[in-house]
Each structure stands twice: as structure tokens, then as C-alpha cells.
Amino acid sequence: YSICSFHSKKITFDNITINGCVYVIDCIIDGIGNCHITQQLIHTKKSAIRYHFPSHVFTCSWPIDTKNLMELGKNSLNISKLNKAIQLFRFALCVRLQIHYSHIDVAYSYAWLGRAYNDKGEYNKAIGYYEKDLKIVLDKLGHDHPDIATSYNNLGLVYDSKGEYDKAIEYHKKSLKIRFDKLGHDHPNVATSYHNLGAAYYNKGKYEEAIGYYKKSLKISLDKLGDDHSHVANSYNNLGNVYKSKGEYDKAIKYYKKDLKISLDKLGPEHPDVATSYNNLGNVYENKGKYDKAIEYYEKGLKIRLDKLGYDHPDVATSYNNLGIIYDDKGEYDKAIEYHEKSLGIRSDKLGDDHPDVATSYNNLGSIYWKKGKYDIAIEYYEKNLKIQLNKLGYDHPDVATSYSNLGVVYDDKGEYDKAIEYHEKSLKIVLDKLGHDHPDVATSYNNLAYIYCNKQGYDKAMEFGTKLLRLKLNKLDSGHPDVGDSHSILGYINCKKGNKKRARKCYENALSIYTQKLGKNHQKTKAVKLKLENL
């Protein structure tokens, strides 16, 4: 953009757009009509800005207080105004770079930009900023300073979000070593590192390791903070999550109830956070197949939210959404639709027709109509969901990949295999580009394509994707993980369809061995694969 200089005690903007920054020095600014500045308006304290510019035009006084800019950015981040936060952090960074390119405050700006891009789901950008932060703090503070541990921790978190769990673990262990050596074995920041390692191992499917680290984190929190602290409640919640994923639902319930007890004691029976604890218990009872008990907890959570937040609060919409999901699980599709439509109504009214949560409601309704066999209605809702995501997230966001995948599943069930393959390949391209070749979402795409090619009687292509799926799972997970068992089962299905019963039997036996050891002989998956072997 061009640079212009105007010299006057008073200037009036008349329906003008200025592409760039405006610097106002001891001057009065008025405006007529629609005036717009694409970057920032920076003014001295003796200036007077009498025109009300649009809210996205950032105005600040000179000299620029970068600490205030950073605080404003953090406030924006806390209320999920990510683009505003990035604008503020970048502005502070630009000013600080004028002072010194490797000043510690520059590193601080890089770190917060990394946090904002991580929250936005732009993980590669986040990594870029976190690495710039790390380079400066290593140079300025040395290799064993606690702030270096924070930088390693940040990189660990973003690699975890990206699904690169081994890299996440590597950084979290570096962070832990510094914190352990410099702060002591029982410092709260050491507990944080244990927690983050637990989360990375949990996401990787290494549940025993996750439990070990979560319990170490819990022990420090209990010793340092007391048995009724919110961090202790959070540790109980995390342990509940792991045991739920392991299928050990009774243990999960035990930990979720400990979390609930602290929340009830500290916050009272009508606090919105108690509603969240009820929601977690509802979820585990849902997974346990105890739908009526799950509904009981979901309705307790809903009652609190209705009483405390009002009938049209977005969290009430979330409760309706959860009830919709459980009635979906129960096969009561009309009741599920009723709750999802209530959720959709609130979200549309309070958040706007193009909000991502509205897209989620469309997606859930699409899923139910798909299960009802009403494929055209399902496609209509899935396409509404996709339209919002394309507009809000862009054409290459992982959530867009999921939407393509859902459309692929419906077209598969409609028997329109070529269209199904088209959507699944779109999904696969995005996840390969954005998440890498060994991300769990890549496994989902391989799984879907294997089934479709099998349904299309393209058995060689089905075997190709089924084999890729198994290889990916073995690379990411323990060989005895239930997800690896699923991959063996898929290959068994393809070989069975292909007429190769000997190979099918071997694959099903591999799956059965894993399911029996990890899930138990009475688990639904164990029983299903035993039946397949009997029917060969």
C-alpha cells in the first residue's frame, strides 16, 4: 500500500478506505459516512478521534504499550476471539521487533501467537512460532531454565493436538526433566508435565502409561493442593476418561464420582461445573449401555443449566445435544431428532446460522436420518454442515475431511460407490496434507475406502487399503490394542468376501486373540468375531 502524509490540526475522512496504518500526531480526526482502515490507527495522546471506526479497526495511542496489547490479546484468546488475539499479538510483535529481534519479549510474543494458532487448529503455524520462541529463550536463558521447560511443554501440546504423539512425548519429557531438576520432584509444574504426558499416552492408546502419569500428577496435587482442589478433581476426571476408554466403566464411574464430589462440595449442587460432571457420568453410563441411568445424569445436568443459565443458553443446547445422542444410541430416532432440533434452534438463535456448533447439529441430524435409511434427507443435513465448515474453516480443515467422510458413508449405503469413493478420497487428501500419513483420521479414511472397494467387489484395492490401515495402526499403537484387532477383523472380512477363507480365518483369529485379552470374552466385539469364525 502507499504511504501518504497529511498536515493539519483537523482532518475529516469522507467515505474513504485506507489500505494500511494511519498515524495521527496531535490532530483531530472526524469522519463522514463509511470510513475504514485495513490495519491500525495509532495516535498520540493529544489527538482526538471523533469518528467511531468499525470494531475490527484497532486503535491505540502512542507510545505503544506492548504489555497492554499482549493482555488484550490474552483476553481475546480467553473468549475464543482468535483472529482478534492474533491481530493484537502480531501488532505487539511488530513493535517489539523494532527494539531487538531476539529480545525475550519477542519470544513471549511468539509463544502467544503459537498458542493462538494452536487453538485455531493451524498446528504448523503454531509450531513455527513456538520454535522461534524456543530458539530465543535457549539463546538467552540457557538449556535448563524453567522457561525452556515451558517452551518444550508448548511444543508438546501442539504435537499432541496434531496427532504426532511420539513427538509430543519427546517434548514433554524434555520439559519434565528440566522441571524435575530445577523445581523439585513435587512442584505443581512437574504435576503439569506428568498430566501432559498422561494425555499424550492416552491419545496414543497406551492406557497403562497414561494411568501411571495421571496418578503421579494426582499424587503431587493431593500433597500440595489438598484433596478438594480443582486440579485434583481434574485428575480424577482424566483417570475416568482413561478407564472409560479401556472399557473399565466401573473404575471410570468411581473416578468421575470423586470428581463430582469435589465439585459438589466446593461449588454447590447447582453450579454449572457440576452439570459438566453429571454429563461425564452420563457419557460413561451411555457407553456401558445403561441408557436410562445415562439419561438420568444428562437430565440432572440439563436441569442445572436451565435453572442457572436460562432456556436458550448454548450449554443448554449441549445438554439437548447429549440427550439426542443417547436416544440415537437407544434407537429412538424420533426422540433423538426432537432433542437435536431443540439444540439446533438454540444454536441458530444464539450463535448464528453459520456457527460451527450449528454445523454440528446439522451433522448429528444427518447421522440419524442416515440410520433411519432416509439417505436423501441425511445428505441434505450433511451438506448444510459442510457448507458452514467450508465457509468458516476453509477447504482443507480436518473437520471438512470428516464431513466428506460422512457423505461418503451415505453414498456407500445408497450403492453409489463411485460418489462414495470421490468423497472419501477428498477426505483422505485433506488429512494426509494437514495431519500427516500416520494420523488416526488417515486410518479412518483407509478403513472406509477398504469397505467401499470391498462392497464394489474391487477386492485388490480393498486389500490395499486394509493393509495400509493395519500397517498404520501397528506403527502408532501397541500390537495388542483393540484398534489393531479391528484392522485384522476388516482384513478377515475382505478375504472372506474374496473367497479366501484360510486367510480370513487367520485374520479373525488375530482379532479374537486381541479382543479376548484386552476387552474380555463377553465384550460385543469378541462375541461378534467368534460368530464370524463359526460361520466361515
CA distance 45 to 528: 74
pLDDT score, position 37: 79
Q: Give yes or no for residue 152 having a pLDDT over 60.
A: yes
Q: Is the peptide bond before 63 cis (omega within 30 degrees of 0)?
A: yes
Q: Are 511 and 489 in contact (CB under 8 A)?
A: yes
User: What would the pLDDT profile of 315-364 be if each residue is shown by its tens digit?
Assistant: 899 999 999 999 998 899 999 999 999 999 999 998 889 888 899 999 99
- On the question of pLDDT at 61 being above 60, the answer is no
Higher pLDDT residue, 229 or 59? 229
Beta-strand pair 36-37/17-18: parallel
436 Rama class: left (phi>0) / alpha (psi -120 to 50) / beta: left
* Nearest to 464, CA basis, from 455, 454, 473, 474: 454
How many C-beta atoms lie closer than 10 Å to residue 15's C-beta? 10
Grid cell for residue 134: 524456543
Residue 69 pLDDT class (50, 70, 90 cuts): confident
Question: CA 250 → CA 224, 239, 506, distances in Å?
Answer: 28, 12, 33
- 4, pLDDT greater than 60: no
DSSP 330-362: TT-HHHHHHHHHHHHHHHHHHH-TT-HHHHHHH
For range 44-59, the mean pLDDT = 73
Burial label for 2, CB within 10 Å (0-12, 13-18, 19+), is exposed
User: Can you tell me the mean pLDDT for 22-48?
Assistant: 79
Tell me, what's the pLDDT at 440?
79
**Whether the predicted pLDDT of 3 surpasses 60:** no
3-state secondary structure 247-277: CCHHHHHHHHHHHHHHHHHHHCCCCHHHHHH
Report residue 172's pLDDT band, with 50, 70 and 90 as the boundaries.
Answer: very high
Higher pLDDT, 22 or 511: 511
Q: Which three cell numbers stand for residue 492?
A: 478377515
Q: Residue 438: pLDDT band by 50, 70, 90 thresholds? A: confident
Distance CA 499, CA 45 (A): 82
Here the cell at position 356 is 460451527
In the predicted model, what is the mean pLDDT of residues 114-126? 86
pLDDT of res. 109: 87
What confidence score (pLDDT) does residue 50 get? Answer: 85
Question: Is 1's pLDDT higher than 50?
Answer: no
Whether the CA torsion 205, 206, 212, 217 is positive or negative: it is negative
DSSP letters along 424-471, please?
HHHHHHHHHHHH-TT-HHHHHHHHHHHHHHHHTT-HHHHHHHHHHHHH
Phi, psi torsion values for 21, nearest 5 degrees: -100, 150
Tell me which H or E stretch contains 278: helix 272-287
H helix runs in 291-416, sequence order = 291-309, 314-329, 333-351, 356-371, 375-393, 398-413
Q: What are phi and psi of 164, to 5 degrees?
A: -95, 80
Q: How far apart are CA 39 and CA 61, in angstroms?
A: 14
pLDDT tens for 73-114 read 888 878 877 888 887 888 778 777 766 666 788 888 898 899
The residue assigned the cell 513471549 is: 108
Q: Where are the domains of the chain?
A: 10-63
The average pLDDT across 142-170 equals 91
What is the distance between the alpha carbons of residues 171 and 161, in angstroms, rounded to a whole number? 13
| Residue 498 near residue 226, CB atoms below 8 Å | no
DSSP class of residue 23 equals E
Place of cell 530465543: 136
Angle, to 10 degrees, between the axis of helix 146-162 and the axis of helix 188-204?
20
Q: Give the mean pLDDT of 465-474.
A: 93
Q: What is the DSSP code string of 94-109?
A: HHHHHH-TT-HHHHHH
The 10s digit of each residue's pLDDT in 240-274 is 999 988 888 999 999 999 999 999 998 899 998 89
Over residues 104-128, the mean pLDDT reads 87
Model pLDDT, residue 6: 64
The average pLDDT across 111-129 equals: 88
Angle of the 524-535 helix axis to the 482-498 helix axis, nearest 10: 20
Average per-residue pLDDT for the chain: 89
pLDDT value at position 101?
A: 67
